[in-house]
A and B are shown apart, each in its own frame.
Chain A
Amino acid sequence: MYMQDTIKTKYPPGDLALWIFICAELLVFAIFFAAYAFTRASNIELFNQYQATLNTDLALLNTIALLTSSYFVVSAIISIKENKQKQSTRFLSLSILGGCAFLIMKMTEYSHHMSEGINLTTNLFYMFYLSLTFFHFMHVILGIMILTVLWLNTRKGLYTADNHDGLVSGGAYWHMVDLVWLILFPLIYIMR
């Protein structure tokens, strides 16, 4: 079993159907990112002006929360390969906590914007900022739901060193949510 990590396979680990779903999701995000970048190109001053109003400290903490959560998912998969279900369950709990921390920080950010009367119609920058980040926010919610199912299954002992495809597939979805944010963070908060 452990040798699998060193032998090259033709297909990615986990369920191939989920990988096709991940590709479709990534393509949608790529279109969104391109739309943001090209719209910005015709409104550079407006985008730079309102980008400066965003909270980059909170965005940094959001990035760290997602990366840490992903780290714990990988740790959970390594643990299950050693048949350490309890340890794997603990790691999955921590990854869910990381996801929840992201949601709480993002909701704090949204409530701050709402209190200032900012919404989708405020201007082009906020239209993109709110719709892009909210679209990603919805994916984080779905990701946490998937992680919760994985946590329950691991707790019940459904995954073992020989059978953990479900855990790997769910983990891949969570990493997809993470890597989308890794583009979104510099694109919307930092690049000018």
Chain B
Amino acid sequence: MEKSYRTNNIIFTTLILLTLFTWILGQTDIVGDISEKINGKVFFLILLSIAIIKVQLIGDFFMHLNTVSGFWRWIITLWVMLTGGFIAIAFLL
């Protein structure tokens, strides 16, 4: 059980750090308009990748899908890939 608490703490800290990183990227008054400094598409892909990683962490460790095999193991992955795919097509094409 100690391991479960430790895993929970690590995942939570990672999620908070990734959230803060996302927020910092959006702060034009702190870091300037990053979408103008780097390629706007790269900026978008960084944000989308972080969001996908966070969703996957919630699915795997908070919803415990990492203890499941077969179709249900990938249900959140399928959803985030489908959603992320639609968003990426709309933003990049």
One digit per residue, 1 when the CB lies within 8 angstroms of any chain B CB and 0 when it does not, for chain A 70-91 equals 1101110010011000000000
Residues of A with Cβ closer than 8 Å to B?
Answer: 2, 4-13, 19, 23, 26-27, 29-30, 33-34, 37-38, 40-41, 52, 56-57, 59-60, 63-64, 67-68, 70-71, 73-75, 78, 81-82, 168, 171-172, 175-176, 178-179, 182-183, 185-187, 189-192
Q: How far is the CA of A52 from the CA of B33 in the complex (A)?
A: 11
Q: How far is the CA of A9 from the CA of B73 in the complex (A)?
A: 9
Q: How far is the CA of A9 from the CA of B66 in the complex (A)?
A: 10
Task: Please state if B58 and A34 are interface contacts (CB–CB under 8 Å).
Answer: no
CB-CB under 8 A for A71 and B79, given A10-B70, A40-B90, A183-B55:
no
Q: How far is the CA of A34 from the CA of B81 in the complex (A)?
A: 12
Residues of B with Cβ closer than 8 Å to A?
Answer: 1, 4-5, 8, 12, 15-16, 19-20, 22-23, 25-28, 35, 40, 44, 47-48, 50-51, 54-55, 58-59, 61-65, 67-70, 72, 75-76, 79-80, 82-84, 86-87, 89-91, 93
Q: How far is the CA of A12 from the CA of B12 in the complex (A)?
A: 21
